[in-house]
Amino acid sequence: MSNYVKRNSQGKYYTAGKKYSAETYASIFKVAVNYKQSTGAYPLPSHLSEMTSVSFKVAKKVILFVSGQSENLHKPSGHGYSGKGSMKLSMMDQFFLLGLYHTDPSRPLYSYCTELYEFSGTEVSTTTLCKWFRSSFNYKGTCRKPSIFPAQKFSQENIRKLEEYVNIVSYFDHRRFVFTDEKPMKGTDIYNKKFDVLPWMALYRLLTQVLIYATRTTLWQL
């Protein structure tokens, strides 16, 4: 997203998504330090905001930094590594977490935190571990809707059977065909509102599409 100029509550223009320059911060520091020298205390964020025409958040960050309550003026945010302990997980820690998972997959997240802290002294939050379990492997750790057709749909065996089936049905008039199958009504079939009219109809549409298409194609070629 391209940066664009915005106006804060004090009437000062700034570029969205871009931090203030070092000179701007230096001038704000100077105002805050001078205020302390004259009054004996740092100004309130709202007061500093009015004096320097920066936003309340920037003034608060500056005061925390100048007074020594905060080490960093800018914290990394947005995409990438963020949060408590996100950069701390070494390869050994990750193997240890996987071992814990295989030992007892149903253990809670805070159990991983305590076990890892006892193992290597690495302190991480449950949120970090949740993100790690979800995104550190080849497959996403979130819920997915599986495909109706399995992966072996186009296997050699299935293709051979399809060819055999087409060879057989090509001798018959396609108007004589009657396709039957059972469809047990379970959970999502009954309660899923995505289906149009009848739950099995969508399934049959897919099942018969392949068979009928193959049959008709063969018959028209004869």
Partner 1 sequence: MAAIKINNENSIDSMLTNSSSISYQVGKFQGTSTAFNYFITQLVGTRFLKTGHVLICDNTTIHLTEENKNLAEVLWKKKKLGTESTSLFPRVKSD
Which residues form the interface with partner 1 (CB under 8 A)?
Answer: 169, 172, 174-185, 198, 200-201, 204-205, 208-209, 211-212
CB of 215 to partner 1, least distance (A): 8
**CB burial of residue 54 (10 Å; 0-12, 13-18, 19+):** buried
Residues 140, 134 contacting (CB under 8 angstroms):
yes
Nearest partner of 42 among 23, 27, 63, 28, judged by Cα: 63
Nearer to partner 1, 142 or 180 (CB): 180
Nearest approach, Cβ of 93 to partner 1 (angstroms)?
Answer: 48
CB of 162 to partner 1, least distance (A): 12
Q: Quick one: 84 or 160, whose CB is closer to partner 1?
A: 160
Q: Minimum distance from CB of 203 to partner 1 (Å)?
A: 9
Of 178 and 222, CB closest to partner 1 = 178
Q: Residue 52, CB half-sphere, CA atoms under 13 Å: how many? A: 30
Phi, psi of 151 (to 5 degrees): -70, -25
For partner 1, give the closer residue by CB, 67 or 209. Answer: 209
Q: Which of 92, 85, 165 is nearest to 126 (CA)?
A: 85
